[in-house]
């Protein structure tokens, strides 16, 4: 029991109030699965029926997998997809039927809360994966029947692996996001509510605000106009309709959206000295910030791969980097980035904020907001570092491996002119990669307990404002084709005006 005086004096932000709210949550440890029948005499029949179906499913699919793996004649895309489908069906049965058999045999129909969520997650993931794989198999049959002369080129091993990997990744990310949403729906709604956060920004001195406003406004306008010019130049010039410039146009679009996610709110706060942001607005800003940052990360890896193929495998470039593969790489990057950002944002909505609501930052970044939560954030931190490894370390490893091969190829070129030409094609991209990864690793690859607000803000300015602003200059000033396209675009606009 809590003393009346203590209860009356405690505010909504007090530790006593927080403890009481956390302690009074309703907890559910088990669910009851009613099953098919309550008649005991029917249970042996049901058990035998389900057991037989389960054994036939598992043994049949395992035989198909073993036959495909052991027979060299079946090492084709069609049978590769069939082996994956059999593996999925086996896992699908193992997710549901063993629990049904145990419940039918023991007449103990309960399932734990955690067990229910785990079963739900794998059920959704494998169902979605089955759905994606059937679509992939239909595409494989379409190419085999309608485009037989191009079948070996289109359905090459790399593309088959990419299709399977994308299907597995998308299915698991979708299932994970839905499972997280389910845990949120099952959570009682008596958390402490916060309607606004306070973004402290850079300076409390009013005399410095006009200077900061002018600086950020100038950077924002240069970023948006510069990146839009890059996009217009690539779209309008037929000579730039190549994979490299297609990826560059996407990068410019992402940088434009990235700046529009953060800088307008910073400008409004600096100009009006009204530093609040709503709870919903903070989550929306956090979502788009994470999605676009992850997308930038994936796209830089894709661009590094494109440069590797262009320099190290020039004779196969048009085949490997065909339009379909370029679209697939960009679409996969967009999808994965948004799903990863959605999962973290959804997990963030489950936290209660019962301490200070002042964020020592100029936008709703993950680590500063996380430090305000009074809930247990260990699972979130594990998730954050896992996603950072998936979406940060893996693309960076792809970039490093690609550039290792590129440097090896460049060093083997005998002429100095040839070395300079090859290096100039990837020098711009390497500069952008260094700027982006250097600041991101400085901020996010550290425990939240050792996070420094000052260092975090300065590093954040670099990758949220400086890098998107510099990208158009880096790619246009070091690229003769891009400079020519920009001059033609500006000349065309000038003629139209006159």
pLDDT of residue 266: 86
Separation CA 218–CA 226 (nearest Å): 12
Among 311, 306, 258, residue whose Cα is nearest residue 285: 258
Q: For domain 30-185, which CATH number applies: 3.40.50.620, 1.20.1070.10, 1.10.630.10, 3.40.50.1100?
A: 1.20.1070.10
Phi-psi region of 107 (alpha: psi -120 to 50; beta: other; left: phi over 0): left
pLDDT of residue 221: 93
Which contacts (CB < 8 Å, 24+ apart) does range 311-319 have? 311/406, 311/409, 311/410, 311/422, 311/425, 311/426, 312/405, 312/406, 312/409, 319/153
In b/e form, how buried is each residue of 330-362, taking b as 16+ CB within 10 angstroms? bebbbbbbbbbbbbbbbbbebbbbbeebebbbb
Q: CB count, 10 Å around CB of 58?
A: 16
Residue 454 burial class via C-beta count within 10 angstroms: exposed 0-12, middle 13-18, buried 19 and up: exposed
The structural domains of the chain, with segments of one domain joined by +, span: 30-185, 196-497
Which CATH architecture fits 196-497?
Up-down Bundle (1.20)
Residue appearing with tokens 């679509």:
135
Separation CA 474–CA 294 (nearest Å): 21
Q: Contact, 81 vs 133, CB < 8 A?
A: yes
Structure tokens at 390: 């998936």
User: Are the folds of 30-185 and 196-497 the same?
Assistant: yes
Separation CA 183–CA 363 (nearest Å): 27
47 — phi, psi (to 5°)? -60, -45
Angle, helices 323-348 vs 279-312, to 10°: value is 150
| Residue ranges in the chain modelled with pLDDT below 50 | 1-27, 188-192
- pTM for this entry: 0.65
Separation CA 86–CA 99 (nearest Å): 21
pLDDT of residue 66: 92
* Beta strand ranges found along 33-135 (DSSP E): 110-112
* Beta strand ranges found along 181-261 (DSSP E): 196-199
Element (H, E) at 278: strand 276-278
């Amino acid at each position: 029991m809590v003393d009346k005086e203590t209860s009356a004096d405690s505010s909504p932000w007090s530790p006593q109030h927080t403890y009481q709210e956390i302690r009074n949550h309703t907890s559910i440890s088990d669910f009851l699965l009613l099953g098919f029948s309550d008649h005991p005499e029917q249970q042996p029949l049901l058990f035998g029926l389900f057991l037989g179906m389960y054994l036939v499913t598992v043994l049949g699919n395992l035989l198909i997998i073993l036959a495909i793996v052991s027979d060299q004649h079946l090492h084709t895309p069609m049978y590769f997809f069939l082996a994956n489908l059999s593996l999925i069906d086996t896992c699908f049965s193992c997710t549901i039927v063993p629990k049904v058999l145990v419940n039918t045999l023991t007449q103990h129909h309960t399932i734990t809360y955690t067990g229910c969520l785990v079963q739900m997650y794998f059920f959704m993931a494998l169902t979605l994966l089955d759905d994606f794989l059937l679509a992939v198999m239909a595409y494989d049959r379409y190419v085999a029947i309608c485009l037989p002369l191009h079948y070996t080129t289109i359905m090459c091993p790399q593309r088959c692996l990419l299709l399977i990997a994308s299907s597995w990744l998308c299915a698991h990310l979708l299932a994970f996001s839905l499972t997280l949403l389910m845990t949120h729906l099952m959570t009682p709604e008596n958390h402490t509510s916060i309607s606004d956060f306070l973004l402290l920004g850079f300076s409390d001195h009013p005399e410095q605000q006009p200077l900061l406003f002018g600086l950020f406004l100038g950077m924002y306008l240069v970023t948006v106009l510069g990146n839009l010019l890059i996009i217009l130049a690539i779209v309008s010039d037929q000579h730039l309709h190549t994979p490299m410039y297609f990826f560059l146009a996407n990068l410019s679009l992402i940088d434009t959206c990235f700046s529009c996610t953060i800088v307008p709110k910073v400008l409004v706060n600096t100009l009006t000295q009204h530093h609040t942001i709503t709870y919903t607005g903070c989550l929306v800003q956090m979502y788009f910030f994470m999605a676009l940052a992850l997308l930038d990360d994936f796209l830089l890896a894709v661009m590094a791969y494109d440069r590797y193929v262009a320099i190290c495998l020039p004779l196969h470039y048009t085949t490997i980097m065909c339009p379909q593969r370029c679209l697939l790489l960009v679409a996969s990057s967009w999808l994965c980035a948004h799903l990863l950002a959605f999962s973290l944002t959804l997990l963030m909505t489950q936290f209660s904020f019962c301490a200070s609501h002042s964020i020592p930052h100029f936008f709703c970044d993950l680590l500063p907001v996380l430090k305000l939560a009074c809930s247990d954030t260990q699972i979130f931190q594990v998730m954050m570092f896992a996603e950072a490894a998936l979406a940060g370390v893996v693309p960076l490893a792809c970039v490093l491996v690609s550039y290792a091969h590129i440097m090896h190829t460049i060093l083997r070129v005998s002429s100095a002119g040839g070395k300079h030409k090859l290096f100039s094609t990837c020098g711009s991209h390497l500069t952008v990669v260094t700027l982006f990864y250097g600041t991101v690793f400085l901020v996010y690859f550290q425990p939240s307990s050792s996070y420094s607000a000052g260092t975090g803000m300065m590093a954040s300015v670099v990758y949220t404002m400086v890098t998107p602003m510099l990208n158009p200059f880096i790619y246009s000033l070091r690229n003769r084709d891009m400079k020519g396209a920009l001059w033609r675009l500006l000349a065309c606009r000038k003629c139209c005006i006159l």
